Amino acid sequence: MKSARLACKASPEQATSIVTVADRLAIGGPDIVIMAGPCAIESQQQMDSVAQQLAPSAIGMLRGGAYKPRTSPYSFQGLGLKGLDILVNVGMTYDLPVVTEVMAVEQIPQVCDRADMLQIGSRNMQNFDLLKAVGQVDKPVLLKRGLAATVEEFVMAAEYILSHGNSNVVLCERGIRSFDSYTRNVLDLGAVVALKQLVHLPVIVDPSHASGRRELVADLSRAAIACGADGLMIECHPTPDLSVSDAAQALSLDAAVMLAEGVSPIAAAVGRRVPPSRCRTSTENSDVEVRPSVASRG
């Protein structure tokens, strides 16, 4: 991987670069960053329920797709700009930075103006024009591994973004295609370990798309943190079975909050920390209590 000169570590000892989101969330530092939310933004009410329950927990970022890449052109394609506005307003209300997918170069200005982090989805990992374009924005980028991309192709995709001027790139392992249809994809934890050795960029894991089965998500999350992941991306929904997309992998909101607590001992075992829940009434956390207020966002 000699040609990935910006993504690769100069020496094995080089520390992970910190990617800062919304001026206050550090990905790649000692704290594990957990992003959670529905597959797709469906309504204001749905997003309010999600944020209200997640904001007081250890979950630090809100996700949700406004532009959805769907296998079938007849499936729900996302609410577009309307969905983006719902996500961003709810994020501001509950003081949660937001990440959302950008599928096309022409969507970049509107997503960049509103969201705190831009997601490049698996299907676009080698959309080189899109990679070059997000290389020129001043927002951090979450780059998801292609459905069948090698580790080298994944790193080279990140190199496109870095070489066009954006140094704030986070990689996301989200499972790769294999022969076994029991799980939606195969979570490649070997790639997570390899990436942590090879590149200085933070690496997070999405066990929801990797497994496609909600009952596997919490255990895979713990495994991901145990092998060095810097964070997690989790799909959850107020009524999981009624999710318009990816229902089988959606956790309930309670389960998502429990998952965040459940990874904490594993994080501690590998010298990391899941930040404390923001709703605790104990004095040490009272300074970070969440109040739903637009003004609370810097």
Residues that bind Mn ion (CB under 5 A): 39, 246
Q: Which does residue 184 touch among Mn ion, ligand PEP, none (CB within 5 to 8 A, set by kind)?
A: none
**Dist. CA 145–CA 84, nearest whole Å:** 23
- CB nearer to Mn ion: pick between 177 and 291: 177
Minimal distance, residue 282 CB to ligand PEP, in Å: 34
Contact by Cβ (8 Å): 115, 99: yes
Q: List 150's β-bridge partners, or say none.
A: none
Give yes or no for a contact between 49 and 13, defined as CB atoms under 8 angstroms apart: no
Minimum CB distance to Mn ion, residue 157 (Å): 20
Separation of CA 263 from chain center:
16
101 binds ligand PEP (CB under 6 A): yes
Q: Is 144 in the site for ligand PEP (CB under 6 A)?
A: yes
Beta strands in 167-207 (DSSP E): 169-173, 203-205
The answer to whether residues 236 and 59 touch, using CB atoms and an 8 Å cutoff, is no
Q: Which of 122, 168, 211, 249 binds ligand PEP (CB under 6 A)?
A: 122
278, interface contact from Mn ion, ligand PEP, none, CB < 5-8 Å by kind: none
- The answer to the question of residue 121 lying near ligand PEP (CB under 6 A) is yes
The token pair that represents 229 in the structure block: 């992941």
Applying CB under 6 A, among 114, 174, 214, 222 the residue interacting with ligand PEP is 174
Q: Is 233 helix (H, G, I), strand (E, B) or coil?
A: strand
Query: Closest CB to Mn ion belongs to which residue?
Result: 39
Nearest alpha carbon to residue 288 among 96, 115, 98, 49: 96
Q: Does 39 bind ligand PEP (CB under 6 A)?
A: yes
Please identify, using beta-carbon distances, which residue of 208 and 277 lies nearer to ligand PEP.
208
Cα separation, 59 vs 254, whole angstroms: 12
| Contacting residue, 139, 184, 209, 278, with ligand PEP by CB under 6 A | 209
- Output the smallest distance, CB 119 to ligand PEP, in A: 6
Q: Which helix (H) or strand (E) holds 287?
A: none
Contact positions vs ligand PEP (CB under 6 A): 39, 65, 69, 101, 121-122, 144, 174, 209
